[in-house]
Structure 1
């Protein structure tokens, strides 16, 4: 048993020895590795030391360079400080120069402003002189014009006075003619009464009475025309407007004078392109217009000739025309036929009576209606008078009672009084 234990111990000791060898071997290997590592570290340290030497040399070089740069920087700073001082001096000088320049510019601007003001003042004075000169020229022209106008007015006044004088002469003649007839007839009546021959002179007396009535109508027409023209000029002449059928109004006027035209050997013809046309008008004044135009046509128309009264319907105006184929009117006289103070040469009217007031009144009444009248004529071939009346109507009629209303027959006798034989 002791041997077995020894062997076991020997085996254990051998194993222990082997283990130790193995451990030694491992420790040797580790030692080799550690030595290698130590050698490597020693080499690395040598390299680091070499690099450190180089780095120190580089650092020493850089330090020397920094010292040089620092010295150069000191020099540069001194140079910069010197330049800054120079710049400050230059800046101070520049400020002074700028102030001087600014002062000079301000002075120049003041001088320029003063020069502008002086130029404006001079320009203003020149303009004022030109205005005064222009005003003086205008004043001289105005004075010249006024003198010319005064001359014209004086000449027109002379002509107007002459024309009005002629008009008054014509009016006086027109008044005297019927008055003389009436006065002469009154003297005859007086003589017949005194010698007791009234019964014997009965036929003549009837004729004289008709003559008195006729000349009274002539006087009435003349006075009415003059008074109405004066009213129109004074603004006191009023129209009594009503909505009336103008066709019927004119047709009845034409029919009322047919007996007279027949007695004169004339034919009066009425025509219309519309049967009814209601317009606002003063029928009494329309009657005076148409009768006056027909009266003129009768005066200037030869026996056997025709007078045409036409009505034409227009959109805004109705046209009433009276046309004859009588002796006509020369073109140079057409401008004056509506002038109350002018009269066409009596030689053209075959010595018929009239002052020219009638057509002037016709024109005035037509224009009061808002219309117009024109005359067309060819000497030796006849005349045509055309009246245009607005086709408008009124909402409120203004028919007024007229205390001087006469019968229609008497109106015709008055308006046609200067053409009765």
Structure 2
């Protein structure tokens, strides 16, 4: 208490005021003393001047000290208040403290030591009460702010739920539309392909070289368009959960050779070597042969599309734990590491521009991804720009139709493998990294 304190003494008894004044001056505390004789004067001076402490006699001529204290606190006048009592009355002291007094002291115990102790204690208590009140105000303000933010978050959550519901509904409608349109487009496309094939048969008449070339173009473009339509139809079925695997026991080597033979003409058209290596002790597997062939066709189609020169290898081999690997390598343009996590997304291609060099729906790898997961398998990818890519499919020899793989493993650049866990919304998050050699 190094600062000069402003002290107010309220007492109508001149002798008592003198005793308090004398004791306060002997405390050694720097202070400015003011004195008034009744409650009205006290209210007047406290309304215009700030004091560090008030010494108030419990009995004044105009009002009792208890009533004055209650009026003082109800008028929001905040000041440390020490009540001077005329007798040792514990009950009265308790009432005074409940009314708002900071402390009390019997007039018979007035001394410099006691007044100094009471003064310091009253000011400490008052300042602590101010800090507590300020903290409560801050807490109340923070609570109100949090309440407002919580209400805003709840409102935003409701909006998000509504938007999610609308998006889900739109997705269902989109899938239904895609399935319907794809189904409707297949009928005329099959007719175009069928009639084109009939026109090319010699028994229906000999076409000129120019006519045969135009009909072959119609046939090839029709087949290409039908393939795109089938991709959209398959994807819409996969999204709607209406595509089922029809498992049976079959020779995977024969299915592999059949897929390669169907794609060989496309590879020959680009002067690409298409090599096949099958190393299986037992070629029989229990799976859906149509979907396994579809996986191979899509992988080979991509390899041929993105390879300008060089070779494409297809390898089928045994794996431990009763599994089979189907591997397609190429010497194509390769894939940048930043694009690994996107290439299995639906309608996604590395080149998204309208003038892109390589056409397609962007559904091939998304369909492969879904089919492989339905079969309980995994996909590994290794690729380097300008060198080529490798897609490796690992499948169990015997699938269970209820099995759905939860993970898709994306291989990377040379020596690191990045494993991504795929969520139902087709987004990827990195789960772990591990050093491993190329399988």
TM-score range, shorter chain: 0.3 to 0.5
Higher relative contact order (CA 8 A, sep 6+): 1
Report the TM-score when normalising by structure 2.
Answer: 0.45
Q: Please identify which structure carries the higher strand content.
A: 2
**Larger helix share, 1 or 2:** 1
TM-score (norm 1): 0.47
